[in-house]
Structure formats: C-alpha cells, structure tokens
Amino acid sequence: MKPDAEELKVLMKDKYTWFDDAMKENLTIVGYCPEVSYCSWLFKYKDAYVLLYDMGNGYYSFNREVGRMELETLMIDHDYLKYGKFNTQEELRQLCEKSGYLFV
C-alpha cells in the first residue's frame, strides 16, 4: 500500500475529525463505483486512489487502495454532484442552486 493510502487509513481510525483533516491534505471525490458496491466511492488522497464505503450520515470506512491498472478498468461515474457529493464550496453552491436552495 502506498504511504498516502496508509496515512489516510490511519487518519480514519485514529481521529473523529479525520474528514476535515484529510480535506486539508487534498482528499477529493473522483466518482461513484457501483460495480464494487452500492456505497463505494473512489477518492484521491494526495497521490493515492482509495475506495471508501459511504456508511451514511457523513461516515466513511476505508475499503482499499486502487492501483493504476485497476483504475483503468474500474467503472466510475464521475458525475458525483448528482449524488449530492461535492469537493468545493463552489460545487456546493451549484448543488444548492440546482435544488432551489439558497446558498449563504
């Protein structure tokens, strides 16, 4: 496992605020991976690609690192905004406007 993937795995186990800390370290959503499981999401953390399970209510669990070869064959829905996920405040604003909510 790459050091970046291992670092994220440790962050997720050791801290309640891991998501905020990881976001500061360039955690981004790449897309939804329904081929793996109904709740599987592909994220990029620094230089590593990882599959995380969406456990609901903002909780995620670490599944595994995804290698370059698997990344090329993995079915990924890159339109994560339609699932209510976002990486930036701008994407959140777009989601709110699309849904008819006021973004403040």
**Partners of residue 43 on adjacent β-strands:** 29, 50
Give the pLDDT confidence of 5-39 residue by residue, as tens digits.
Answer: 888 888 888 766 676 667 766 888 999 998 888 89
Q: Is the pLDDT of residue 99 over 80?
A: no
Cα separation of 52 and 9, whole Å?
10
The DSSP result for 53-81, as a single string, is EEEETTEEEEEEEE-HHHHHHS--B--GG
- Report residue 32 as tokens: 């939804």
